[in-house]
Amino acid sequence: MLTWTLTIVGLLLCFFQGFAFAKSPLNSKPVQTWFPQQVAASQNFLLKNISPTDGFPGSVIASPSRANPNYYFHWIRDAALVMETVRHLEQKYEARTPFPLLASQRNPFDQILRDYTAFSRLNQITQTLTGLGEPKYYVDGSAFSDAWGRPQNDGPALRAVTLGQWALELIARGDLTYVKNWLYRAELPARTVVKADLEYVSHHWQQPSFDLWEEVLADHFYTLMVQRKALVIGSQLAQKMNDPKAAEWYTKQAQLISVKLEKFWNQEKQIILTSLNYAGGLDSKKSNLDIAVLLAVLHGQIDGYSFSVQDPRVEKTVSQLISVFAKHYPINVNNPQYAPAIGRYTEDVYSGNGFDGGNPWFLTTLAVAEFYFLKAGSSRNFNQKLFFRNLGTRFLERVQLHSHPDYHLSEQIDRTHGAMIGAEDLTWSHSAILTTHFANQSF
Ligand code: NOJ
Ligand code: NOJ
């Protein structure tokens, strides 16, 4: 462990030599000034993309962009991740204002989660090509039936993670009626959102599906990690909602997933592979090295289970990702004084509105910052805390370098010019700013 820590220390110091006083030409504030401003702006952009006027309340557009590319859809994955951020905002609000006296002080995030729940139930009962595995819907709730990579089985799992945790909080606050009516009722066939998702996840995790990038049909580390988390939370919820047999079944499936997840560690390459058992779709990812593995940990780690931010296998995978991307994009090679901008995987060709070469993304670069902030939060040694915190900040400075002075954030960063490209104000990019901020506050 110690040797390993020293190795990455050495490796990373090479990247960041002489970095301390560098400032972005585009956005020349110190990062400590910029980041809180970006956080506040991102929260507004994120909320703006929820319940659009031409959509159902609780729907989430992936981006306001309606053409080149058209991201004006409710993606199950993006929406669940965004609502997980809203759930955090709701919790923080609740902690600040536990007993609202005036109607105007009522938790505004609570209503958003209720709308999202109602829209999700509508999605679940809508006829689609792949049932609950369907990746996206029109914002009025109608099915999208054009050719697409489907099913994508991380979607229902992520939704169950978000709404399952919210259900546990509502139970703790005494709102059992709402939970029973909408989120979890012990009955089959399931007619509540979380119960329906848990049934789907627990009966489908063994089957291949398309990955979070919607390209590869296989078994994915990302999908399995979030499926396991859904089932662990689902089992706690089932227990509380008087459904002991289901609790047992969900726990059993979670344990089986844990066994399967071990197979993704590749001893020879010293990385966690992103996919196994290729079954269709794009097959260009020869390296099998993908930032999806880090996102899997950020979205799917759960106390007491394997593959946490502290796991040396995760650390080794992240280090390899950082070094391949550092060499891969011109903006990294040309600005080595900054921490590298991070993309999805090096063989990527998706340019945000076409296929003329992959680029770094905001949400993937932020994932590395978030990772180091979480590591700082969970290390006990003060120097180590400081070390990881500084590392996280380096990646934030890279994000700042390519961000816009008016705080808009698109999906991608042009690999040669460093300008923003791809879907504008990607809701997930703004959400990643907020989750990175939460991780940075956690110590
Ligand atoms: C191909 C991209 O690689 C994928 O991630 C994206 O979801 C689809 N095109 C749709 O834009
Ligand atoms: C493309 C990404 O690959 C996918 O993960 C995402 O769900 C969609 N864009 C929508 O943001």
In this predicted structure, what is the pLDDT of residue 4? 42
CA 80 to CA 222: how far, in whole Å?
15
Which ligand sits closest to the CA of 155?
Answer: 2
Atom nearest to 344 CA in ligand 2: 3
- 423 has pLDDT over 70: yes
What was the pLDDT predicted at 102?
84
Ligand nearest to the CA of 351: 1
- C-alpha distance from residue 98 to each of 91, 136, 143 (Å): 10, 35, 39
| Per annotation, catalytic residue among 78, 90, 211, 397 | 211
- Number of the ligand closest to the Cα of 216: 1
d(CA 61, CA 321): 30
pLDDT category at 304 given cuts 50, 70, 90 is very high
Q: For residue 66, what pLDDT is reported?
A: 98
Give the position, in ligand 1's atom list, of the atom nearest the Cα of 349: 3
Query: What is the per-residue burial (b if ≥16 Cβ within 10 Å, else e) of 72-93?
Result: bbbbbbbbbbbbbbbbbbbeeb
Q: What pLDDT does residue 15 have?
A: 42
Q: pTM for this one?
A: 0.94
Distance of CA 309 from the midpoint of ligand 2 (Å): 24
**Rounded mean pLDDT, 201-222:** 98
CA of residue 350 to ligand 1 center, whole Å: 7
Provide the pLDDT for residue 229: 99
Q: Can you tell me the mean pLDDT for 301-323?
A: 97
- The pLDDT of 335-340, averaged and rounded, is 97
Map the chain to HEC letters. Answer: CHHHHHHHHHHHHHHHCCCCCCCCCCCCCCHHHHHHHHHHHHHHHHHHCECCCCCCCCCECCCCCCCCCCCCCEEHHHHHHHHHHHHHHHHHHHHHCCCCCCHHHCCHHHHHHHHHHHHHHHHHHCCCCCHHHCCEECCCCCECCCCCCCCCCHHHHHHHHHHHHHHHHHHHHCCHHHHHHHHCCCCCCCCCHHHHHHHHHHHHCCCCEECCCCCEEEEEHHHHHHHHHHHHHHHHHHHHCCCHHHHHHHHHHHHHHHHHHHCCEECCCCEECCEEEEEEECCCCCCCCCCHHHHHHHHHCCCCCCCCCCCHHHHHHHHHHHHHHHHHCHHHHHCCCCCCCCCCCCCCCCCCCCCCCCCCEHHHHHHHHHHHHHHHHHCCCHHHHHHHHHHHHHHHHHHHHHCCCCCCCCCEECCCCCCEECCCCCHHHHHHHHHHHHHHHCC
**214 catalytic, yes or no?**
yes
Q: Is 71 in the pocket of ligand 2 (CB under 6 A)?
A: yes
pLDDT, mean of residues 190-218? 98
Burial of 337 (0-12, 13-18, 19+ CB in 10 A): middle
- Percent of the chain having pLDDT more than 90? 91
Q: Which residue, by CA, sits nearest to atom 1 of ligand 1? A: 350
Out of 94, 115, 169, 214, which one is annotated catalytic? 214
Cβ pair 361, 43 in contact under 8 A: no
Q: Chain-wide mean pLDDT for the chain? A: 94
Active site residue 290: no
Q: Is the pLDDT of residue 22 over 50?
A: no
| pLDDT, tens digit (0-9, with 9 covering 90-100), for 32-78 | 999 999 999 999 999 999 999 999 999 999 999 999 999 999 999 99
The tens digit of pLDDT for each residue in 156-193 reads: 999 999 999 999 999 999 999 999 999 999 999 999 99
Which atom of ligand 2 lies at the shortest distance from residue 215's CA? 3
How large is the average pLDDT for residues 193-204? Answer: 99
